[in-house]
Structure 1
């Protein structure tokens, strides 16, 4: 059994007690461990991979921690490159698989280490390349569950901070003072939410209590980094659970302020119902091994904000087409200040929103044009989601679902007042042109 957190002595969980098998570990990760060991260095598989193996999971990524410096690691592997400024890392490439190797890190509190450690005035780390021992490295990690080390020396698991017991109890506990750790890196609050939702862990009270008060610190994080974190949160197969935790800890107000405000003012709850259903469907797709388009995901997450902005503009007298464009632009411009959504995702998001009003326009030309639109399928799926909270849309969904399966001639027959189909937005039936009667040539007397 592990020592209690903070003892600094740690414990060794023998192979017979922890159940982690080499057959569940990437052969390339094992190759890195053996080569570093044979070169005289310590090397361990560390972090989420060990945690997941202990609870019967199948990790895709394997990280290695070692006492070798990045330069010493590179000297052992020709297929290695060094990356990073804040954290200097070695990436060892085996085809498509990358084994990330990090040198043990120390606290950097001594005077000799200050040159290698820079801290922002608000408390978060800017640069941190202070190397240390295995024990020091464990105390530098975020959660106890992520501070477990697997070695090929005797196939045991080293536990310095009590992480083994916390994994068995499915608890996320921060190492060190939670307020200090969140100030060092506010994104740790999002990691707590993501891991708790993904692993079905509870967040220990000491780690959970400061989050609502410190949630505003996320505003100082890079918008590009927050975009990456959002993809991890909502594309991990536990998007609905994550969303509810973001709400609970006041993190949604910081990440998606317009959406949070719109949900609070939506009296019927239809927007919330639609959003939660979209996240449930996202989870189903991810867990079935299917892809999810980020543009569609953000269209769902920001739809409440778009609806609220659209209503404000229409109430001020703007025409629908103008209001739609302005609402999409305003919501997106405000959102990218917080989360840097690339244009390759925001543009499809706008199209999905703006196509929604076209589903009720069922003239011959408009029906066939909409069916031919490259974003039709995504827009239709979005319509079906909206119908989960608005029963009046069920008839529209039924029509367009049927329209996709019908031949043009059949579809033309169910469009009111039309007898011929339109192809590519044009009618297939073109009335024959009247021939102009040629006038007889005038004859002249000669």
Structure 2
């Protein structure tokens, strides 16, 4: 098949030139020698023939030298051409791209192994066939139209084609170009074919992965910013845009230091340099107050969780940022509540101590009263006994005594357990 790559109006090959360069001079010398021989047959004197014989010998020697040099040069050129042809064929067969050559009528003149595998055919099966033998009619017609466009344009043209290959629908990129003879006439169409199906599948998977990653970023409740080692922002989510009051595009053209007040930017650069020296996940803003700055200049407290992430061979810094304004307010309210509770506790403690003091005082008074109780009880018994004697011994003639004193004396006597006469108890 490789000989079909040569144009039909090719120049003389190595064999023809070798014949002309070696055998033709010897034939001329032989013809000259024969002519001299026949001349000698008619020559009357041998002395007259010596110059002619010398000329004949010199001519033969010069012709041999010229023929040898010419043959050596041709052999060297043929060797170089053969090596170049082998290099071209080796390159065309070992390349990862499909290569083929068609004539003007659309017949395959050459196809390398890659293109033959794409067609699921051999070199012999491809030679002399057209696109209609391997592809559906609509696709084959499209390929023929592209060939005609290359011939009409006379230059190379790149085409993106979706072709139905043997193993299914594949995406091909074809670089077609016109092949010319030495006279400039287009005699064939060459093509370099790249099967980009796997590349497209990989790109699609990568795009889907990036889309999922962006979706996850946007679903995160906190602002997320991914920046390089210099602080240049590479990717943000919607929460970061809402938090800092800037668009996603504007954030991706900024440095993370620009999201802080001017007074804090140098300090943040030092934090980033320290992080790059020893990358590890940690949180900033809990112990030292960090302040963010929105697009309108408004400042608000934030805390930032830093984490190293690898994108390709480059380490990036992922910052998860949270607005802690409400948290700070809650802490402040909690502190105020704690202070109030502390004051209330101190007041209650004072009341408790006062109450305890009063209880102790009352207890002391009760203890003292308890000590006086026996004497009062004895005195009460004595009064009761006296009342009993008065009731039993002295009659009550006085109305006052009878109405007031006697009932009270009787009650006291009964309460003390005294036995009264029946007359007195009536």
Fold shared per TM-score above 0.5: no
Name the structure with the higher helix share.
Answer: 2
Q: Give the TM-score category using the shorter length.
A: under 0.3
- TM-score, scaled to structure 1: 0.19
**Normalized per residue, which structure has more strand?**
2
In the superposition, the TM-score normalised over structure 2's length comes to 0.20
Higher RCO structure, 1 or 2 (CA under 8 Å, sep 6+): 1
When Rg is computed on C-alpha atoms for both structures, the one with the higher figure is 2
